[in-house]
Structure 1
């Protein structure tokens, strides 16, 4: 099974992962044979990539959380963000807990329960390695992004062996890190909109707007609130909204900052395709110490799997190969199986890139 852009999907391809609509309802179940008209409809609903099964990759790829938990989390965040934005205006003053409606308190309660469910599901895995299995509709982008950021953040937190209560604060903060965007004009949340310089500056206020809104609710841990406020702050003091120095930024905010950047950079968007996996990790590593916390980036790059099993890649020898396995600690040097080569005797050979140091992956291949 492998993830491919929708424009590379050919008729009679088998769908590898179930597709859901923006309200979490099943659109197409895994195993369906995709016809030309079906592929066109998938494009219409703004799903840019899907998982397929073919002769090269028929193995199941397990998400780090169950798909039903992921979908429920997306809907929980969507309900909260959509309704909170409708119930409030940016200039409201909140001075006491009773200012929150029972609906808003119920949203926070549901988010807290969701965080516990996500943590418990991830902790069931023996090895917490991160290979995201996420087919998202652009219509639900902000909400599925929030869930991905929570999952990525938790894998980092678990690697640091954080206690469960701190993991809960981390997960909740990650789930609601962009809640301040609910108070901005809707146009500013449109990922396809071309924004003016003034509008880009307005977006930079979303951490403060979110923190102000959450400041007096008792249902959200203070650490989670700090994540909302600080997830765009930087160790070099050039972040926003407060340009804090590194000693005033909580460690959980640093984690969410990295998770946020990784998910944004590795996601296909209508006008911006995902960065090449090695380029994403290189970006994080080259900015460690300035944009991102050095120690957290170092840990993250050991647990992420940029080339999941089943990915087809081209290597510097000109051959094409199938990713068979990723070795923990060496995310960019997986074990490969040659599937196309000018030397017929090479087809079927396995290459361990940790040992074959002169060979590198040059691109991910979708059309085979």
Structure 2
């Protein structure tokens, strides 16, 4: 199974992962054979990439959490955000618990229970690594992003052996880290094209708006609330909204900051395609100390798998290879099998890029023509 941008998908391609609509309804089951009309429909609902199964990659890539849990979490976050937008059209800031409606309190409670389910599912995995990119429609990008940030954050938290209570606070904080965006003016949030400098400053207030909104509810842990407030702060003091420096930013906020950046950079968007996997990791490493916590970035770069098994890649030799295995601690130097080469003796040869240091991955290959 491999991830394929929708523009490269051709008729008679087999779908590798089930597709859902913005409300979590099943659209197309894994194993379906796609025709041109179906491909066009996928494009219409703004899904930019899908998983396919072909002769080069027919193994399943297991998600970190069960698909049904992921979809339920996305729907829950969507409902919470939509409800908050509806109730807070006047941008009213709460001053006491009694200002919260029963519906809002139930959302907060359910998000906490959902966090428990996600944590339990992740902890049931023998080895927690990040190998699967979530398939998402741009129509529900914000909600899918929140769930993905939670999953990524938890894999980091597990790698650091955080206690379960801290994992719960981390997961809840990550799930609602962008809740303040539900309180921003819709004309700014939904604007197409570049924001003005004034509009950018308004958007930068979403962590504070989210924190103030949550400040009185008893259903959200205080650490989770700090994650909402601090997830755009930076160790060098140049983050927002408060320009905090390293010693004043909690570790959970640093984790969510990295997860947030990774998910944004590695996801296809209409205005920009995902960065090349090695470029994403290099960006994180080059900005460790200034934008991100160095120790957390170092651990994260050891547990992420940028080239999952079955990925077709182009090598600096000009050859095309299939990823066979990723070696722990060396995510950018997988073991590969050559499937296309100008030298017939190299076809089907297994090559370890850890041993062959002169060979690097230069591109992900989608079209074999």
User: TM over 0.5: same fold?
Assistant: yes
Contact 2:91 2:183 in 1 (8 A): no
Where 1:260 maps in the other structure, the secondary structure is helix
The match for 1:92 is: 92
Q: 1:298 to 1:90 in 2, by over 3 A?
A: farther
178-187 vs 104-113, greater mean Cα deviation: 178-187
The match for 2:114 is: 114
Alignment of 1:69-218 (within 5 A): 69-89=69-89, 91-190=91-190, 192-218=192-218
Question: 1:309-335, CA deviations, whole angstroms, 9 ceiling, x for partnerless residues?
Answer: 111000011000001111111110111
How far apart, CA to CA, are the structure 1 residues paired with 2:225 and 2:20? 31
Q: 1:365 to 1:127 in 2, by over 3 A?
A: same
Q: 1:308 to 1:190 in 2, by over 3 A?
A: farther
Offset, 1:191:
7.8
Contact 1:18 1:29 in 2 (8 A): yes
How far apart, CA to CA, are the structure 1 residues paired with 2:65 and 2:317? 36
Where 1:17 maps in the other structure, the secondary structure is coil
How far apart, CA to CA, are the structure 2 residues paired with 1:192 and 1:62? 35
Question: 1:38-82, CA deviations, whole angstroms, 9 ceiling, x for partnerless residues?
Answer: 100100000000000111001011101000000000000000011
Where 2:336 maps in the other structure, the secondary structure is strand
The match for 1:305 is: 305
Q: 1:257 to 1:191 in 2, by over 3 A?
A: farther
TM-score (norm 1): 0.98
Contact 2:61 2:132 in 1 (8 A): no
Where 1:65 maps in the other structure, the secondary structure is coil
Offset, 1:186:
2.4
Q: 1:333 to 1:90 in 2, by over 3 A?
A: farther
- Runs of 5+ consecutive residues of structure 1 not aligned to the other structure: none
The match for 2:245 is: 245
Question: 1:320-352, CA deviations, whole angstroms, 9 ceiling, x for partnerless residues?
Answer: 000111111111011101010011121111111
Question: 1:99-155, CA deviations, whole angstroms, 9 ceiling, x for partnerless residues?
Answer: 100000000011001100000000011111111341100000000000000000000
Matched, 1:7 2:17: no
Q: 1:352 to 1:207 in 2, by over 3 A?
A: same
Offset, 1:93:
3.6
Where 1:78 maps in the other structure, the secondary structure is helix
How far apart, CA to CA, are the structure 2 residues paired with 1:191 and 1:134? 25
Offset, 1:194:
2.8
The match for 1:323 is: 323
Where 1:98 maps in the other structure, the secondary structure is helix
Contact 1:61 1:133 in 2 (8 A): no
How far apart, CA to CA, are the structure 2 residues paired with 1:104 and 1:277? 38
The match for 2:20 is: 20
TM-align CA RMSD: 1.0
Q: 1:31 to 1:282 in 2, by over 3 A?
A: same
How far apart, CA to CA, are the structure 2 residues paired with 1:362 and 1:262? 20
Question: 1:255-284, CA deviations, whole angstroms, 9 ceiling, x for partnerless residues?
Answer: 000000000000000010000000000000
- The count of aligned residue pairs is 368
Where 1:306 maps in the other structure, the secondary structure is coil
How far apart, CA to CA, are the structure 1 residues paired with 2:78 and 2:193? 20
The match for 2:58 is: 58
Which stretches of structure 1, 4 residues or more, deviate above 3 A after TM superposition? 187-193
Contact 1:187 1:193 in 2 (8 A): no
Where 1:337 maps in the other structure, the secondary structure is strand
How far apart, CA to CA, are the structure 2 residues paired with 1:114 and 1:342? 52
Offset, 1:203:
0.7
Question: 1:230-269, CA deviations, whole angstroms, 9 ceiling, x for partnerless residues?
Answer: 0000000000000011111100000000000000000000
Offset, 1:189:
3.2
Where 1:151 maps in the other structure, the secondary structure is helix
Q: 1:353 to 1:191 in 2, by over 3 A?
A: farther
Offset, 1:98:
1.2
The match for 1:227 is: 227
Where 1:331 maps in the other structure, the secondary structure is coil
